[in-house]
């Protein structure tokens, strides 16, 4: 039986984020919170392995208490357990202490045969945390995978590289990061939602993890944001053309087979 974990993050829905025209900062107040989209693909990959080989899936997030709704989204889709890692000392973490805290959580929970992460989050786009967890745990990893299979004691994964698809065989335990749209995440059912809401979420704080405060959260973060600038789009050069030129352009496109009549 495979013991699997999926690391997820609650993020603001990027479709709802606007840029304040005056302050030029991101306005997230109107945005609803969703599960980071590639994390849903990571979860689906885990669920498919479970369907095939059996096992147990624990979904884990580090975040504020309100992130429990993101975990319930995952248990509603078939994950077995939900763990919320939350503590004031964890707040303000960059990817280093985040990876460290999540890796420690995985150890605290007895370790996993495989840990799934999304390729990156839509609200910070670093792609650090999956590899970070693998490094802190000292296990094998494969990033940006789109499919996975299991042949004890290996995982066979596929990842797209420039011009080819790479197939890797990695040993257990392992960490993989899954690309966006790698699969079609299943819809939650009412029955599963009811079970998920009834089971609820297990909370882990630093009381359990016992990490040194200077190694986690803002204090443990080496990244410093010194400045932020807004990029302004320069208006593109435009050329006005008449009907003759349009005909010419269409002709060329037609000759090259780009447009068809």
Minimum Å gap between C-beta 31 and another protein is 13
Minimum Å gap between C-beta 17 and another protein is 17
222-241 burial code (b ≥16 CB/10 A, e <16) = eeeeeeeeeeeeeeeeeeee
In the Cβ-directed half-sphere of 184, how many Cα atoms lie within 13 Å? 2
195 vs 208, which CB is nearer to another protein? 195
Token couple for 24: 């030029």
Cα end-to-end span (Å), the chain: 58
Minimum Å gap between C-beta 188 and another protein is 8
43 vs 137, which CB is nearer to another protein? 43
CA 118 remoteness from chain centre: 3
190 vs 258, which CB is nearer to another protein? 190
Residue choice 65, 107, 160, 197 for contact with another protein (CB under 8 A): 197
Pairwise CA distance, residues 148 & 130, whole Å? 16
Pairwise CA distance, residues 86 & 52, whole Å? 33
By CB under 8 A, the residues from 137 to 196 that bind another protein are: 187-191, 193-194
Pairwise CA distance, residues 7 & 63, whole Å? 11
By CB under 8 A, the residues from 10 to 39 that bind another protein are: 32
Minimum Å gap between C-beta 261 and another protein is 34
172 vs 192, which CB is nearer to another protein? 192
197 vs 254, which CB is nearer to another protein? 197
By CB under 8 A, the residues from 110 to 129 that bind another protein are: none
27 vs 147, which CB is nearer to another protein? 27
Minimum Å gap between C-beta 101 and another protein is 30
34 vs 114, which CB is nearer to another protein? 34
Site residue total, another protein (CB under 8 A): 10
Pairwise CA distance, residues 243 & 102, whole Å? 62
By CB under 8 A, the residues from 224 to 253 that bind another protein are: none
161-190 burial code (b ≥16 CB/10 A, e <16) = eeeeeeebebebbbbbbbbbebbebbebee
Minimum Å gap between C-beta 192 and another protein is 8
Minimum Å gap between C-beta 38 and another protein is 21
Pairwise CA distance, residues 54 & 28, whole Å? 39
**118 - beta bridge partners?**
178
List residues near another protein by CB under 8 A.
32, 187-191, 193-194, 197-198
């Amino acid at each position: 039986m495979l013991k699997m974990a999926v690391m997820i993050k609650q993020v603001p829905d990027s479709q709802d984020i606007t840029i304040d025209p005056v302050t030029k900062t991101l306005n997230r107040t109107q945005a609803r919170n969703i599960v980071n989209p590639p994390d849903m693909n990571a979860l689906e990959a885990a669920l498919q392995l479970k369907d095939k080989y059996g096992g147990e899936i624990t979904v884990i997030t580090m975040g504020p208490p309100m992130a429990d709704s993101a975990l319930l989204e995952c248990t509603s889709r078939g994950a077995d357990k939900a763990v919320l890692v939350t503590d004031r000392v964890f707040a303000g973490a960059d990817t280093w202490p985040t990876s460290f805290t999540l890796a420690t959580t995985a150890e605290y929970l007895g370790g996993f045969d495989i840990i799934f992460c999304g390729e990156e989050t839509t609200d910070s786009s670093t792609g650090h945390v999956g590899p970070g967890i693998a490094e802190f745990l000292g296990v094998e990893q494969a990033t940006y995978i789109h499919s996975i299979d299991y042949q004890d004691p290996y995982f066979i994964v596929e990842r797209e590289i420039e011009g080819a698809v790479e197939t890797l065989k990695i040993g257990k335990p392992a960490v993989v990061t899954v690309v966006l749209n790698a699969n079609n995440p299943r819809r939650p059912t009412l029955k599963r939602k009811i079970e998920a809401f009834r089971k609820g979420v297990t909370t882990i704080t630093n009381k359990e993890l016992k990490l040194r405060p200077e190694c986690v959260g803002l204090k443990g973060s080496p990244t410093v944001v010194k400045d932020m600038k807004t990029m302004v789009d320069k208006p593109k050069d435009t050329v006005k053309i008449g009907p003759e030129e349009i005909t010419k352009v269409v002709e060329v496109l037609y000759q090259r087979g780009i447009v068809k009549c």
